[in-house]
């Protein structure tokens, strides 16, 4: 039962899109498992740069069927725009399928996301303000509207009317915001549904049929495991489970059908939004990493916080997700440093901490316990065989393997599709 999970091992933006695109060349199907349009997966091919938000990163491989799974929350307008944009660039989207169980992100979710972030003031989570959190909250509290509701206008009308009414009470009563009008919202949904209708299917059945036929399936997560709602840095997390377990749940794949869990890690650490980050570099080294790694959000344009590789957090996600292989991306960003830091622990006063604690306040004022290894100070962007990587780079990868307890199989040395080393295919 050959399913491969591709998931982020840090705080997202690890380059999962590029790896998924590359591995999709040998797969029949790519299933996106979680998150919403807050994801931004960048893929660079000879056709240019593609920034995908909801569409699975297999879409640039014409033979691949692409599935948006039940665990995803969908803002229909964003999805339709994304698909139209791809079609205009000559990309074949006929293999797209959308789970009829996926939940909808509606305009009131977006507005609530903005208002709730404003209310948190300096404690804001740093969401992308796309409404995904409130949509997942409605899903959990059993108020959500799903893709299947779109099929029957009378059902949609009834459920939407109840929700608009309830949300207007909240918007007006709690936030003093003007109410949303039902009719234009309803009509918009009907119009968008026309475009998407042929793609709406029970994807879990199709995914299982493919697995039983022995087809290779890739399950693609958005975000990263340190943003997981259970094991991430709560409350600075996403509202879904970007983990191996979440991948199974969101895609409709059983754990026993998975034979590889590829953890995608950057060669250093970044994160967007709030929360403690002991390995953060607030100096010119951090700025150099940001510039070389082009560390600004795909959708938001926000600068990402940067730091040395946080082996404490990475080890935690590697273990909890049973990572079978590491994909270490953006190694080329470190090409210019004489020495490279690895955060092997945290220190608060005399206290040494070797895991990410549940209570983040315990990390306030934490200093990184850094170990430095020699850099390689040479360009790696042209390297395609693992053995041709500078010895110091190989040693750096080896240190990471030891910390994470898994082998590095893929190494990213640039944003292009070809700038990827597969250690097993020299
Ligand atoms: P994702 O959300 O995990 O798919 O990652 P993003 O697309 O948000 O961020 C990764 C960024 O790094 C994108 O701009 C990619 O084009 C770029 N990228 C991916 N792999 C590499 C790499 O190995 N080297 C460099 N320099 N850039 C990379």
pLDDT 10s digits, 201-243:
999 999 999 999 999 999 999 999 999 999 999 999 999 999 9
Give the atom of ligand 1 at the shortest distance from the alpha carbon of 294.
14
Tokens encoding 223: 């975000």
Instruction: Report the pLDDT value the prediction gives residue 1, as an integer from 0 to 100.
Output: 58
Return the minimum-mean-pLDDT range out of 74-83, 173-182, 415-424: 173-182
| CA–CA distance, 169 with 190 (Å, rounded to integer) | 24
Nearest CA, atom 11, ligand 1: 15
Quick one: which of 38, 97, 75 has its CA closest to 251? 97
User: In terms of C-beta density within 10 A (0-12 exposed, 13-18 middle, 19 or more buried), how is residue 15 classed?
Assistant: buried
Instruction: Report the pLDDT value the prediction gives residue 108, as an integer from 0 to 100.
Output: 93
Quick one: which of 26, 93, 35 has its CA closest to 66? 93
Q: Phi-psi region for residue 312, left (φ > 0), alpha (ψ -120 to 50) or beta?
A: alpha
Question: Cα-flanking dihedrals φ and ψ of residue 375, to 5°?
Answer: -80, 180
**pLDDT band with cut points at 50, 70 and 90 for residue 119:** confident
Identify which of 11, 24, 34, 42 to mutate to test ligand 1's pocket (most ligand atoms within 8 A of the CB).
42
pLDDT (tens digit, 9 = 90+) per residue, 37-57?
Answer: 988 899 999 999 999 999 999
DSSP H helices, 366-419, are 391-404
Ligand 1 pocket, residue 13 CB under 6 Å: yes
Choice among 41, 103, 109, 403 that is catalytic: 41
Cα of 409 to ligand 1 centre, how many Å?
17
pLDDT (tens digit, 9 = 90+) per residue, 89-108?
Answer: 999 999 999 999 999 999 99
Instruction: Report the pLDDT value the prediction gives residue 58, as an integer from 0 to 100.
Output: 97
Residue 310 falls in the annotated catalytic set: no
Whether residue 300 has pLDDT greater than 80: no
Whether residue 175 has pLDDT greater than 90: no
Q: Is the dihedral of CA 84, 85, 88, 93 positive or negative?
A: negative
| CA–CA distance, 426 with 387 (Å, rounded to integer) | 8
Ligand 1 pocket, residue 252 CB under 6 Å: no
Q: How much is the mean pLDDT over the chain?
A: 94
Residues near 124 by beta carbon (within 8 Å), at least 6 away in sequence: 117, 118, 273, 274
Cα of 8 to ligand 1 centre, how many Å?
12
| CA–CA distance, 379 with 273 (Å, rounded to integer) | 31
- Length of the chain, in residues: 426
Instruction: Report the pLDDT value the prediction gives residue 189, as an integer from 0 to 100.
Output: 97
Per-residue b/e over 291-314, b at no fewer than 16 CB within 10 Å? ebbebebbebeeebbbbbbbbbbb
Whether residue 391 has pLDDT greater than 80: yes
| CA–CA distance, 398 with 403 (Å, rounded to integer) | 9
Residue 382 falls in the annotated catalytic set: no
Give the atom of ligand 1 at the shortest distance from the alpha carbon of 20.
4
Identify which of 415, 417, 422 to mutate to test ligand 1's pocket (most ligand atoms within 8 A of the CB).
415
Ligand 1 pocket, residue 32 CB under 6 Å: no
Cα of 264 to ligand 1 centre, how many Å?
11
């Amino acid at each position: 039962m050959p399913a491969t999970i591709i998931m982020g091992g840090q705080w997202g933006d690890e380059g999962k899109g590029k790896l998924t695109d590359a591995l999709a060349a040998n797969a029949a199907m790519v299933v996106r498992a979680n998150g919403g349009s807050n994801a931004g997966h960048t893929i660079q091919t000879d056709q240019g740069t593609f920034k995908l938000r909801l569409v699975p990163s297999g879409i640039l491989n014409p033979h691949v069927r692409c599935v948006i799974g039940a665990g995803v929350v969908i803002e229909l307008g964003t999805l339709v725009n994304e698909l139209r944009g791809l079609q205009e660039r000559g990309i074949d989207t006929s293999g797209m399928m959308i789970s009829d169980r996926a939940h909808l992100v509606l305009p009131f979710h977006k507005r609530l996301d903005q208002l709730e972030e404003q209310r948190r003031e300096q404690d804001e989570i740093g969401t992308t303000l796309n409404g995904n959190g409130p949509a997942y909250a409605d899903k959990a509290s059993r108020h959500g509207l799903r893709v299947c509701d779109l099929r029957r206008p009378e059902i949609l009308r009834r459920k939407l009317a109840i929700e608009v009414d309830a949300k207007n009470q909240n918007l007006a009563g709690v936030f003093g915001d003007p109410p949303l009008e039902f009719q234009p919202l309803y009509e918009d949904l009907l119009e968008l549904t026309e475009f998407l209708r042929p793609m709406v299917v029970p994807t879990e059945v199709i995914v299982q049929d493919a697995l039983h036929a022995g087809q290779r399936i890739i399950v693609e997560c958005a975000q990263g495991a340190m943003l997981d709602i259970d094991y991430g840095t709560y409350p600075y997390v996403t509202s879904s489970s970007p983990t191996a377990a979440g991948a199974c749940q969101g895609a409709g794949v059983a754990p026993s059908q998975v034979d590889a869990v590829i953890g995608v890690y950057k060669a250093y650490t970044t994160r967007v939004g709030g929360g403690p980050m002991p390995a953060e570099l607030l100096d010119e080294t951090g700025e150099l990493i940001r510039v070389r790694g082009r560390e600004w959000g795909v959708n938001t344009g926000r600068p990402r916080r940067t730091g040395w590789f946080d082996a404490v957090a990475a080890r935690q996600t590697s273990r909890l997700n049973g990572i079978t292989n590491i994909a270490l991306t953006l190694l080329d960003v470190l090409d210019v440093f004489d020495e490279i830091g690895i955060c092997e622990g945290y220190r608060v006063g005399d206290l040494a901490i070797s895991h990410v604690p549940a209570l983040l306040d315990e990390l306030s004022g934490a200093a990184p316990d850094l170990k430095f290894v020699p850099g390689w100070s040479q360009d790696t962007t042209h390297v395609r065989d693992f053995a041709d990587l500078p010895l110091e780079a190989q040693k750096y990868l080896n240190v990471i393997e030891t910390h994470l307890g898994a082998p590095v199989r893929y190494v990213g040395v640039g944003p292009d599709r070809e700038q990827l080393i597969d250690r097993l295919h020299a």
